Amino acid sequence: MSVHPITAQEAFLRAPHASNIASNPAPHAAPEPGTPKRHAPQDPASHAKAGKGKEAAQLLPFDAIIDVRSEGEFALDHWPGAVNWPVLNNAERELIGTIYKQVGSFEAKKKGAALVAANIARHIQAHVLDLPNNWQPLIYCWRGGKRSGSISTVLSQIGFRVHLLEGGYKSFRQGVVADIPKLIEPLRFEVICGPTGCGKTRLLQSLKSLGAQVLDLEDLANHRSSVLGFIPGSPQPSQKHFDTLVWQTLRGFDPARVIYVESESKKVGNLSVPVELIEKMRQSPCRVLELSLAERVALLMEDYEFLVLDPELFIRKLEALVTLRGRALIDAWSEETRQGRIAHVVQELLEHHYDPTYLTSMKRNFTALHEARIVSLSSRHPKPLMDAAAFILQDLPR
């Protein structure tokens, strides 16, 4: 066997989409947990795109996507479904860099080679010994050079057909950025609008449970998209990894069917939504979800229970609104919170902050809002939401 260079665009055609990563068992490989399994391509046209002269074996998806960068590099962003087999870990990379600067490149290369060889041996012992000879991985590092080249050479000498990503992670990242607008262009969106606490996210979840295509940007961004929208103990992904997650999700959509998405702003927490996606959403048909003020307050008390249970944390988060709402009002809300009147503070937040801000933004940005169809909910509970989702799916061809 040998090492086969492959471009990012060629690799995209063979990598699993968001809807089928690790969803089906591989026919024979036994990689570590989390390794993506072999799947048939979702798009039948992908065979033609890959080139008519290619061998059939070359069109098969990879049995694994292996990122051999350090765990720190991997955490910032990586190919969805990839597993991390560092040939140099964080501490080792730092050590080699120090030797390079303080001693010289020759000594750094010797030490690096020893560490890389030892790490490759450990990965083979841990992950490779039980694999069949027709196992085909895709391997990449930062630029597709020494790190990925080293482990690819060893695996190819064992007898595996190894695919090496040309340009490494950098080419993958460039490919993702270039691919997102192309993926968005043929898609049809319907935007679920409505004021804070009306159940937009719950409706998306109901739509998804009924088989609809849903793009949940808040889920991908790990944030509820408001000043109070952080998820405690669970940081947001990096901007690059958020882009990658959006890209991977878009790849799994069927352009012939509508995609439902919430009326997000340009940013979800600290993360920016791709410009092309925002523009497409803002030109798309809308539905406005309605729910009574009392039910909205109750819904927010449920969804933000961690703030209800930690009043001082809630008060600290309210400080972000001082510039917009003034010190006097924030101090008043803080005092009410300490007195246990959080529900009243939530209602005031909706009436004096979230609702006016949301309405102004929606009228300015969503061009089809004036033609939006209304969906009224009797309560925040599951049955009305499922009924609304079923109505929406019957009301618009998919």
Catalytic residues: 141
Q: Looking only at Cα atoms, what is the longest distance across the chain?
A: 74
Sheet holding 137-140, edge to edge: 3-6, 162-165, 137-140, 64-67, 83-84
- What is the phi/psi pair of residue 297, to 5°? -60, -45
- Locate 109 and state its tokens: 């290369």
Distance CA 122, CA 127 (A): 8
State the DSSP code for 24: S
- Locate 290 and state its tokens: 């309605």
Q: Which residue has the tokens 């939504």?
A: 273
Distance CA 144, CA 157 (A): 18
Q: Which residues of 277-308 are buried (b: 16+ CB within 10 A; e: fewer)?
A: bbebbbebbbbbbebeeebbbbbbeebbeebb
Task: Please provide the size of the chain in residues.
Answer: 398
> What end-to-end distance do the CA atoms of the chain give, in Å?
46
Q: Nearest Cα to 373, choosing from 284, 259, 305?
A: 284
- What is the phi/psi pair of residue 34, to 5°? 95, -15
Within 8 A by CB and 6+ apart from 307, the residues are: 228, 313, 314, 317, 342
One-letter identity of residue 308:
V
- Locate 92 and state its tokens: 């080792």
Planar angle of CA 232, 235, 239, nearest 5 degrees: 150
3-state secondary structure of 89: coil
| Contact (CB, 8 A) for 333 and 350 | no
**Burial, 211: exposed, middle or buried (Cβ in 10 Å; 0-12, 13-18, 19+)?**
exposed
Bridge-based pairing state of the strands 137-140 and 162-165: parallel
One-letter identity of residue 40:
A
